[in-house]
Each structure stands twice: as C-alpha cells, then as structure tokens.
C-alpha cells in the first residue's frame, strides 16, 4: 500500500475545521451569483491568486470577505455537504466542525439559518457516508466578551444541537482571559470548551486557555514548544493539540513544512492530532495534511497511526461509539 493510500485508509477524526474555511472559490462564486452578492475579486483564478498570506490577519481579511457569499440555509447545507464528501474520501469517520455565527449574524443572516443548514448536512453525511459529526460554535476573539454573550443568548434555544464552544480569529492582543466569564457560563451550560491558542500568540495564551477558560483541547498550540514547563504539563495531562501543518506554513508560523515542530511535540509525549483548519485556503484537506507532513518530517506509519488514534481519543464522543473506529485502526499494518 503506498503512503497516500495508507493515509486515506486511516480512520481519523477531524477536530479543527472551520466550515467557512472549506468554501472553495468555485462555490464562493456560484453562491455569490445566486445571492446577488458582490465579491472583491473578478474571477475564481483571481481569488486563488489572492491567497498569498503573510500572517493570520492577512488570511482572516480574505476569509471574512469570502464568507459574505453565504446567505441562505441551502448555502450552509451545500458548503458542509461538500466538506463531508471530501472528508469521507480522506478517511474521516468523525468531524467536529467549527462555525463562526458572528460572521453571519453581523450581515443579517439569522443564527438559525446557519445552524439549520449545517445540521442538515451533518444528518445527510451520517446517512450517506456514516460520518458522525458535532458542531462547535466559535466566538470571534477580536469582538468583545459582551458580543460573545449576545451570541450565546442567540444560541440558547439551539443548545441541544451545539456540542461545544471555541475561540478563534485574531489571536494577538486578544488573550483567552478576555473571555473568562463567557467560557465559565458555557461550561455551566454543559458545553465542551476549546480555544485557539499558541498559533501566533505566546505560550502564556495556552496557559490562560487551560487555567482561565478550562479548555479540554488546544487548537494549534505549536508555540508550546517554547516553554519546557508547559510542554511537560501538556504531556502529563495528555491535553490534545489540534495541529494544522499546512495552515501553519501558509500563515508563516513556520517557513517550510520541514521546519514544523510536530515531530518534536510528538516526541515530547503530547497528544498531537493533524487537521486541516481552512482547507480551501491552505492547499489541502486532512489527508493532504497527513501526507505532506509525513513526507516533510519523515513520519513512520506507526507514528501516523498514533496521530489518527489520538484524534479518535480526543473527540467528544462516548467511548462506545469509538470502538468500531479503533477496531478498524488496529486492523491496519504499521
């Protein structure tokens, strides 16, 4: 079995995927036309050509502009269904999708419109491909905690359909501590909690996410490598990191994939997973992330299997649902 076939055959969970980041330029243009929305680019080609990022903010500016094409419930359904089709082809058995309601409600799209479309795709993905999924509401950290509370209020009637909350958008200058009260409330409501930390921000933001927000996983977290005590803590407590290697290169966190610290994190005993973040913008879906990282860092099949196992263990589904995935994983050779 060649490496690409092996990577696709690994049953895996995707735990760090912004559904708006799976909006391919072709769909962006089709939806913009259908909805009569103007985009800042003239063509699909010009859009792709604009995807040359220098940092997180330079990406976010384009990402929010592209999301303007999403208006109707059907748009969110088609977006998520297209993601699930690709995820299925990549061996994803379970996906926990981030969505950014504030990006849409700010444009007058109702919270329920977003959620209804995404949820319908989740149900369809289970029926068509047997993929299970969960929805994680992300608060935009460049906005205020008060605005986060207003979004939580809008989410309240739908909490049975929302599994957890996260924190994304511009990291620098917006430390996790800014959202301490909001996350405490979300935990009280029984929601799972995660946060982006240590993507561009310092290791101290990872510590804050753990201590002040009580997060169960860290999204990215690669800058933990700069703090030996934090590395030891993350390894001891087996806090999952949802690492996104192609994203990190596109956003200049690492200059080249060969310089990525994923192997170092793995060897320090951390529960590392591989994910795609915003695959339409960063050059590949989850299997491409596994494959290119394996090649760049010379990861063995046993290491890839370990990473896939980590992703299944780090998912927010009960043990009983995971058993068939582990059986499939164990059946693969090293």
**Which positions are catalytic?**
199
200 binds Zn ion (CB under 5 A): no
What is the arrangement of strands in the sheet containing 271-274, beginning at the earlier edge strand? 12-18, 92-99, 132-140, 164-168, 192-197, 217-220, 240-243, 271-274
Sign of CA dihedral 234, 173, 64, 144: positive
C-alpha of 237 from chain center: 22
Counting contacts by CB under 5 A, is residue 14 touching Zn ion? no
Shortest spacing between CB 274 and ligand ADE, in angstroms: 14
Q: Which does 56 bind (CB under 5 to 8 A by kind): ligand ADE, Zn ion, none?
A: ligand ADE
Segment 225-284, which members bind Zn ion (CB under 5 A)? 277
Copy the structure tokens of residue 314.
């780090």
Q: For the CA atoms of 287, 292, 295, 299, what is the dihedral angle to 10 degrees? A: -50
Q: Between 205 and 325, name the residue whose CB sits nearer to ligand ADE.
A: 205
* Residue whose tokens read 């170092």: 264
Other C-beta atoms closer than 10 Å to the C-beta of 80 total 26
Written as six digits, the tokens of 37 are 């929305």
Q: Which is nearer to ligand ADE, 93 or 193 (CB)?
A: 193
Chain residue whose CB lies nearest ligand ADE = 168
Cβ distance to ligand ADE smaller for residue 96 or 278? 278
Q: Burial, 171: exposed, middle or buried (Cβ in 10 Å; 0-12, 13-18, 19+)? A: buried
**Binding positions for ligand ADE, rule: CB under 6 A:** 18, 21, 56, 63, 168-169, 196, 199, 247, 277-278
Q: Is 100 in the site for Zn ion (CB under 5 A)?
A: no
Query: Among ligand ADE, Zn ion, none, what does residue 199 contact (CB within 5–8 Å per kind)?
Result: ligand ADE
Which lies closer to ligand ADE via its Cβ, residue 64 or residue 129?
64
Q: At a CB cut-off of 8 Å and minimum separation 6, what does 85 contact? A: 129
Nearest approach in angstroms of CB 181 to ligand ADE is 21
Interaction site with Zn ion (CB under 5 A): 277
């Amino acid at each position: 079995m060649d490496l690409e076939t092996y990577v696709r055959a690994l049953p895996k969970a995707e735990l760090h995927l912004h559904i708006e980041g799976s909006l391919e330029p072709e769909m962006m243009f089709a939806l913009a036309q259908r909805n009569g929305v103007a985009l800042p680019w003239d063509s699909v080609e010009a859009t792709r050509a604009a995807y040359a990022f220098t940092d997180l903010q330079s990406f976010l500016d384009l990402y929010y502009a592209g999301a303007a094409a999403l208006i109707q419930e059907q748009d969110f359904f088609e977006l998520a269904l297209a993601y699930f089709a690709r995820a299925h082809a990549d061996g994803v058995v379970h996906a926990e999708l981030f969505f950014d309601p504030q990006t849409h409600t700010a444009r007058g799209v109702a919270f329920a419109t977003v959620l209804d479309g995404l949820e319908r795709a989740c149900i369809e993905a289970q029926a068509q491909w047997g993929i299970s999924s969960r929805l994680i509401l992300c608060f935009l950290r460049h906005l205020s905690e008060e605005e986060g509370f207003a979004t939580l209020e809008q989410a309240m009637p739908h909490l049975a359909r929302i599994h957890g909350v996260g924190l994304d958008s511009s990291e620098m200058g917006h430390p996790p501590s800014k959202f301490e009260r909001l996350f405490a409330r979300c935990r009280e409501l029984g929601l799972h909690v995660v946060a982006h930390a240590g993507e561009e921000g310092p290791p101290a933001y990872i510590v804050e996410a753990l201590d002040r927000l009580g997060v169960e996983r860290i999204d990215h977290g690669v800058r933990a490598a700069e703090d030996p005590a934090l590395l030891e803590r993350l390894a001891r407590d087996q806090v999952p990191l949802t690492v996104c290697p192609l994203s990190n290169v596109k956003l200049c966190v690492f200059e080249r994939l060969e310089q990525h610290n994923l192997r170092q994190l793995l060897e320090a005993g951390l529960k590392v997973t591989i994910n795609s973040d915003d695959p339409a913008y960063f050059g590949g879906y989850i299997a491409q992330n596994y494959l290119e990282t394996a090649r760049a860092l010379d990861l063995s099949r046993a290491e890839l299997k370990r990473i896939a196992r980590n992703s299944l263990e780090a998912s927010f589904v009960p043990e009983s649902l995971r058993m068939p995935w582990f059986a499939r994983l164990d059946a693969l050779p090293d």
